[in-house]
């Protein structure tokens, strides 16, 4: 659906109904009559009538409210594609967090949102402007949505939508918001003209996001986050097979296929690797920043195809054009765009080794036979690690599951209670390890987690794992107990997983890898091309 109506029970405050729209990629045609293609852009105005006590917001540059009539008026003065028109309404209050930014959230969440983001957004906007030129949308506000929001984040201009569930996971929140900030230039100002080239928005936004995090948090942190995502890309590659057509940057969109089904880690990370490769050809990333500034200036408020980007690149760097870099053997631009499989080249992440090496060391200690659990246990204090270090470690353990019983038992003794107090991105990974290893002593934690989670990204992966193994009756029991607190769409997806028995429906989840955190939820089905049951836990579902 495009318009999501929520009863009060599906909000945090349980007080008032809530509604939001999600237009990406071709859903807004059911919201208003439009040319629902990213190739067409226009300005828009809207008049919205709402009951007293309901705050209405839209992705617009101007808004007014006539209290006596209960009427809001919105105007977006810059041309945008249809998918970026968005509306949200509910029990929302706001606080300013910077000179051109405010957060909107339900009253009970507002203090958390303020404490996590106050002062930060302006810092990120300023860093982005220093790299890519002026922020053209006026305001950059953020609204936090209930857990039913089907993806992690969405870059609606002037008003980024973010799922509230991510608030507790600081590092994921930072990356997701910065990714959406980057879309203000790449995706919103300059847009892919066709959904077959979504990497023009997502690959460039991911590259820009990492330039911004390098400027604000340093290269080591950026390399750690990149290593975590590329790990996820290779995991997805293994699941899908190297010759799968969805691994191309230029995907063929068959008639009747929802473009959101093409949204996967390749769109983000293979796209990023290609953009990074182009930046390396220039020698200095700052030269590439200058090119991107010129590209934005030339194409802002229009839609482009890959050839526009690549021609502009070669014209900006005539010396590279002379060297025929576009046809360098094995790294031809054409091959980057149309070959299946992993990226043709990946970035050098050695600047992140101070953060990634301890992860590799600890993983080896736990997986080398014979197990020396005392050495493994005493080597690291996980509470001092960054979130991305811990999730990278747990993802690798998850890849190695099922583990020998002695290993999972010792891991639990060593870390289980520590992990209990950590954020949901960390906890869900530990619980997936518990499930995939049939580790019964910790199953009560899986139940407790699912009793308290209402979002797609923190329920689907666990239900898929429970139904693939021997724990289906346990999953059914939890589902019957908790189903009334789930949105009907999510309930339906979980019912499908439960009814599929040992072959769960390939629902794509979106545990932070987003913004457009990755995972755009790929609806309830992966495109036909993916065949078979796949839990793409790592598709960050941010648009």
Residue 447, both tokens: 């139940």
Question: Could you give the CA distance from residue 497 to residue 159 in angstroms, rounded to a whole number?
Answer: 34
Residue 296, both tokens: 């934005």
Return the number of other C-beta atoms located less than 10 Å from residue 417's C-beta: 10
Specify whether 268 is catalytic: yes
Q: In what order do the strands lie in the sheet with 62-66?
A: 41-49, 71-81, 62-66
Binding site annotation covers 94? Answer: no
SS3 104: strand
Axis-axis angle for helices 460-468, 472-482 (nearest 10):
150
Axis-axis angle for helices 199-217, 285-299 (nearest 10):
130
Return the number of other C-beta atoms located less than 10 Å from residue 367's C-beta: 15
Binding site annotation covers 183? Answer: yes
- What are the φ/ψ torsions at residue 78 (nearest 5 degrees)? -110, 150
* Whether the Cβ atoms of residue 494 and residue 477 lie closer than 8 Å to each other: no
Catalytic residue among 268, 272, 295, 458: 268
Q: Show the CA angle centred on residue 109, arms to residues 104 and 110, nearest 5°.
A: 45
Closest CA to 498 of 527, 478, 514: 478
Pairing state between β 93-98 and 101-105: antiparallel
* Bridge partner list, 47: 73
- CA 456, distance to chain mean position in Å, is 13
Binding site annotation covers 202? Answer: yes
DSSP 55-83: EEEES-SEEEEETTTTEEEEEEEEEEEGG
Map tokens 């230029």 to a residue.
250
* Whether the Cβ atoms of residue 502 and residue 467 lie closer than 8 Å to each other: yes
Catalytic residue among 171, 180, 425, 464: 180
* Whether the Cβ atoms of residue 163 and residue 455 lie closer than 8 Å to each other: yes
Specify whether 12 is catalytic: no
Helix, strand, coil tally for the chain in percent (to 5): 50, 15, 35
- What are the φ/ψ torsions at residue 318 (nearest 5 degrees)? -55, -30
Residues in contact with 426: Cβ distance below 8 Å, sequence separation at least 6, in sequence order: 169, 387, 390, 391, 394, 419
Annotated catalytic residues are 180, 268
Q: Which residues are annotated as a binding site for Zn(2+)?
A: 179, 183, 202
Q: Which residues are annotated as a binding site?
A: 179, 183, 202
């Amino acid at each position: 659906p495009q318009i999501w109506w929520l009863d009060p029970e599906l909000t945090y405050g349980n007080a008032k109904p809530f509604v939001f729209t999600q237009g990406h990629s071709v859903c807004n045609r059911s919201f208003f009559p439009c040319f629902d293609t990213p190739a067409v852009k226009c300005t828009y105005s809207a008049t919205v009538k709402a009951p007293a006590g309901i705050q209405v917001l839209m992705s617009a540059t101007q808004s007014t409210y006539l209290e006596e009539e209960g009427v809001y008026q919105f105007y977006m003065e810059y041309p945008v594609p249809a998918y970026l028109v968005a509306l949200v309404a509910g029990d929302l209050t706001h606080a300013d967090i910077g000179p051109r930014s405010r957060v909107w959230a339900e009253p009970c969440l507002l203090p958390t949102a303020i404490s996590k983001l106050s002062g930060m957004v302006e810092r990120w906007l300023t860093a982005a402007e220093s790299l890519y030129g002026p922020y053209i949308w006026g305001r950059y506000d953020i609204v936090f949505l209930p857990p039913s929001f089907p993806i992690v984040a969405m870059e609606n201009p002037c008003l980024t939508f973010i799922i509230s569930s991510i608030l507790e996971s600081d590092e994921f929140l930072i990356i997701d918001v910065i990714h959406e900030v980057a879309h203000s230039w790449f995706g919103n100002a300059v847009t892919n003209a066709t959904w077959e080239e979504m990497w023009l928005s997502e690959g460039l936004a991911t590259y820009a996001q990492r330039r911004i995090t390098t400027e604000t948090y340093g290269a080591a942190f950026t390399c750690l986050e990149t290593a975590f995502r590329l790990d996820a890309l290779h995991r997805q590659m293994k699941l899908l097979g190297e010759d799968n057509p969805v691994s191309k940057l230029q995907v063929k969109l068959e008639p009747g296929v929802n473009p959101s089904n093409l949204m996967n880690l390749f769109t983000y990370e293979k796209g990023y690797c290609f953009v990074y490769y182009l930046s390396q050809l220039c020698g200095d990333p700052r030269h590439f920043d200058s090119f991107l500034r010129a590209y934005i200036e030339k194409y802002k408020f229009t839609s482009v195809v890959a050839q526009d980007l690549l021609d502009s690149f070669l014209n900006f760097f005539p010396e590279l054009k002379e060297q025929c870099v576009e046809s360098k053997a094995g790294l031809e631009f054409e091959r980057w765009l149309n070959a299946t499989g992993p990226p043709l080249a990946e970035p050098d992440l050695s600047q992140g080794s101070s953060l990634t090496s301890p992860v590799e060391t600890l993983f080896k200690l736990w997986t080398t036979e014979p197990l020396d659990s005392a050495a493994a246990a005493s080597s690291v204090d996980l509470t001092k690690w960054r979130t991305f270090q811990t999730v990278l470690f747990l993802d690798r353990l998850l890849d190695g599951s099922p583990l020998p019983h002695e290993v999972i038992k010792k891991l639990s003794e060593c870390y289980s209670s520590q992990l209990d107090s950590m954020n949901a991105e960390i906890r869900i990974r530990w619980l997936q390890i518990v499930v995939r290893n049939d580790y019964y002593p910790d199953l009560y934690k899986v139940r407790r987690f699912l009793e308290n989670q209402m979002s797609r990204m923190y329920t689907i992966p666990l239900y898929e794992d429970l139904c693939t193994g021997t724990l289906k009756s346990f999953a059914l029991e939890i589902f019957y107990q908790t189903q009334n607190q789930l949105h009907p769409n999510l309930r339906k997806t979980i019912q499908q997983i439960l009814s599929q028995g040992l072959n769960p429906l390939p629902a794509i989840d979106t545990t932070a890898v987003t913004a457009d955190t990755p995972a755009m939820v790929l609806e309830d089905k992966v495109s036909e091309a993916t065949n078979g049951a796949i839990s793409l836990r790592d598709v960050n579902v941010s648009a």
